[in-house]
Structure 1
Amino acid sequence: MLFQVGGQGTRPTFFEMAAAQQLPSSLRAALTYSLGVFALRRPFIHKILDYEDEFFALLMLVLETHSLRTTDASFAESLYGLRRRGVKIRLKKNNILTDSGDEIHHAGLQKRQKVLSVVFLVVLPYLKSKLQSIYNKEREATLQASLWGDVDERFDYTDYDAGGNISFGSRDHSNNEASASARWIKRLQKTVGACYPWLHAGNEGLSFAYQLLYLLDATGFYSLGLHVLGIHVCRATGQELMDTSSRISKIRSRERERLRGPPWLKALQGGLLSCAYAMLDYAQTGLIAAVFFFKMMEWWYQSAEERMSAPTVYPPPPPPPPPKVAKDGIPLPPDRTLCPLCLQKRTNPSVMAVSGYVFCYTCIFKYANQYKRCPITLMPASVEQIRRLFHDV
């Protein structure tokens, strides 16, 4: 199962390398989400989530080791049809008087490069994840101490005996050992909290620099780890894919020949090897399919929850009926553009807020100031409830 992102030649594009680098983090997020969903029905799965870093590191250790052993590529790189090649730079001299040029040759990975590749792909991300969790805990503890004070200062752990008297030497030895280990752990956490931001910033800065140089075609190394190991990532040709499949079959046949014991034991071992090979062969396709499946289910249930939790939108209520003209109030003129008080065309039209009827500003101001009511509905009103209209109907 291969995904091609484009480009020509043996050098992968920036987008292929970026996609291969982001695949493990996306896979981890999908697996964590799926385990969290299963944990709602099976609470014992929470034990796996408590050791999420160790579980994912062990899974990636198996996948990366098998992929580097069989395809000379990481798990994500093999999915995109990429291979790792060792870089050998040789000096090429045409003549004594001419300048010497460099020629780059690619070779297969050595055993040392495969082992160090596993370290860079599995061990270092695991250590980074643990340092990130320690840093987050230390930051939360620092924030809590700044808000509520230190726990050791707010609580007194003085021991009391059965008679209520203070005992100072009951558990001195055990307390000293516990306090020594606690102080050492606290110092370690403070050291990580102080140094981790700088280490993280330096790592991200170097990663960005290498990616920018790779995008500008200024270097053949996509990351610092590949540069340290002296490895270029190249596209696999059709012949290399065929050679890889034949090499895998030879390795498996040799492993089957090494089986020793009675026939029933060989059959059992052969069946276990066949199951392990099948799981490793379909690990890429199965994991990627699981990612898409659980992401689709997440979108489906999220959309359903949004539809169920969305508030019901009711139509706006109809406006209240207009106030009626009082029996002793001033009648409305037949022409709507006339002022009910002066029966002239309105000037500086203003509305009485309590009733909604429009008058001349001077007319309604004098009337409201004198009678404290609306002249048409006789509702109580004041001059503060007069509103100026900038557009008259």
Structure 2
Amino acid sequence: MLFQVGGQGTRPTFFEMAAAQQLPDSLRAALTYSLGVFALRRPFLHKVLDYDDEFFALLMLVLETHSLRTTDASFSESLYGLRRRSVKIRASKNTSNKESNDRLHRSGLEKRQKVLSVAFLVILPYIKSKLHSIYNKEREARLQASLWGNDDGRLGDTDFLLDQAETSPERIQASSEAGSSMLDLKRKIKAIIGACYPWIHATNEGLSFAYQLLYLLDATGYYSPGLNVLGVQVCRATGQELMDSSSRISKIRSRERERLRGPMWLKAIQRGMLSCIYTTLDYAQTGLIAAVFFFKMMEWWYQSAEERMSAPTVYPPPPPPPPPKVAKDGIPLPQDRSLCPLCTQERVNPSVVGVSGFVLCYSCIFKYVSQYKRCPITLMPATVENIRRLFHDL
């Protein structure tokens, strides 16, 4: 029940519905990222990024309208072989009271349901995105005001637009009052959105989670509240429906060509434009996703190459320095390395001379360095501060 991966029956699995619902958000993130990368080389694309909500809403409006018109499914649902069906409740009359349960009858979408589906798929996400951006700006403004105060030292919009030498005081006062009233109205609207949006967002997310959980437990046939409001359920498309979709699209397009009016040259131009539009829409579903996938693959490829080129070169460790040589007039080293060169006895409290690295008895080297100010073996200048005790035997 929880993992209907086998795809039995017409009811889509939870994973199919979740993938279809998350596809527009993933597609938008990929398109925004791709445009951001291209904008680094083409600065005029920054204007598109400034209106990314409107650009993506217009794109999805075209794709969703075309998909609902031709396949009775949204753009992402048609990609997974799903179809929307209108749910009508019919009561059986020839059965007893105990058996007179309502039966669900699924049919094609009505025109009203297609229009409302476009509104739920395009308009409501656009409004939610704009409210989310306004809420974030309002929250940042409140945080900045709490940290730095409301006085930011900036001039108002009406303080520098009018020249007092050329404008009468009455016009200046009227414009300043109108500007201040508009600013106050905008601030109030933003404050209302900042206060209400968290509750609206939490309610929407809670209802969506409840519907998804009930759908996962097979307690309802509606995956989201929007589908319940529309009276629409999502089903798997049958083989016959997939085969008839092409003929249905050709019939719709033939009727559109027959409606063309005007002289022959105008009809030829209109047919050429319609052919371009039809070709674009036919390959928009797979072409858009394939283009984004190809771009991400190429970006990963070149990014990996750049990382390999910019990676720091690992050099082998340098060889150890050669040991210091014994001076010609210095004390020779004994054959047994455990003996002290000064007293020729086994080392007691071994200590090292920092300037040369040789190890001797602490008392011997301390007396010698205090008297001669040099290492007894290499004759390099040294002081008692260069003597370090070794505690290797502890």
TM tier relative to shorter chain = 0.7 to 0.9
> Equivalents in 2 of 1:155, 1:328: separation in Å?
85
Question: Aligned partners of 1:176, 1:332: CA distance in 2, in Å?
Answer: 98
1:48 counterpart SS class: helix
State TM-score, norm by structure 2.
0.82
Letter in 2 for 1:58: L
Gaps spanning 5+ residues in structure 1: where? none
Q: Specify whether residues 371 and 51 from structure 1 end up closer, same or farther in structure 2 by C-alpha distance, changes over 3 A only.
A: same
User: What residue in structure 2 maps to residue 114 of structure 1?
Assistant: 114
Q: 1:67 to 1:320 in 2, by over 3 A?
A: same
Q: Secondary structure at the match of 1:282?
A: helix
Q: Output the CA distance in 2 between the equivalents of 1:237 and 1:339.
A: 96
Using the TM superposition, give the Cα deviation of residue 281 of structure 1 relative to its aligned residue in structure 2, in angstroms.
Answer: 1.2
1:210 and 2:200 are equivalent in the alignment:
no
- The answer for the alignment partner of 1:83 in structure 2 is 83
Q: Distance in 2 between matches of 1:103 and 1:366?
A: 107
Q: Which amino acid aligns with 2:59?
A: L
CA distance in 2, matches of 1:224, 1:100: 27
CA distance in 2 between partners of 1:381 and 1:91 (Å):
107
Relative to structure 1, is the Cα distance of residues 326 and 54 closer, same or farther in structure 2, using a 3 angstrom cutoff? same
Matched to 1:251, the amino acid is I
SS of equivalent residue, structure 2 residue 253:
helix
Which residue is 2:227 aligned to?
226
Q: Give the distance between the partners of 1:369 and 1:226, measured in 2 at CA.
A: 95
1:12 to 2:12 alignment? yes
* Cα distance in 2 for residues equivalent to 1:275 and 1:145: 53
SS of the residue aligned with 1:171? helix
Tell whether the 8 Å contact from 2:87 to 2:106 is kept in structure 1 after alignment: yes
Instruction: Please show how residues 171-320 of structure 1 align to structure 2 within 5 Å.
Output: 171-320=172-321
SS state at 1:178 partner: helix
Aligned to 1:132: 132
Task: Report if the CA contact (8 A) 2:355-2:386 is conserved.
Answer: no
Q: Deviations over 1:30-87 (max 9, x none)?
A: 3333333444444333322222111111111011011101100001111111111122
**Deviation of 1:310 (Å):** 2.4
Give the residue type in structure 1 aligned to 2:292.
V
The answer to whether the 8 A contact 1:131-1:196 is kept is yes
Deviation at 1:211, TM superposition (A): 2.8
Cα drift, residue 291 of structure 1? 1.1
- CA–CA distance in 2 between the matches of 1:110 and 1:44? 42
More deviation in 75-84 or 224-233?
A: 224-233
Q: By how many angstroms is 1:126 displaced? A: 0.7
Which residue does 1:53 correspond to in 2?
Answer: 53
5+ residue gaps, structure 2, are none
Please say which of residues 243-252 and 61-70 is displaced more in the overlay.
Answer: 243-252
Q: CA RMSD in A?
A: 3.5
User: Closer, same or farther in 2 for the Cα pair 1:169/1:250, shift >3 Å?
Assistant: closer
The more displaced of 288-297 and 314-323 is: 314-323
Distance 2:188 2:366 in 1: 78
Secondary structure in structure 1 of the residue aligned to 2:257: helix
Q: CA deviation at 1:161?
A: 5.8
In the alignment, is the contact (CA less than 8 A) between 2:31 and 2:292 conserved in 1? yes
The aligned residue for residue 336 of structure 2 is 335
CA distance in 1, matches of 2:235, 2:243: 16
User: Amino acid of the residue matched to residue 184 of structure 1?
Assistant: L
Figure out how many residues of one structure are paired with residues of the other and give that number.
380
2:73, 2:41 → 1: CA distance?
38
Q: Separation in 1 of the partners of 2:98 and 2:91?
A: 13
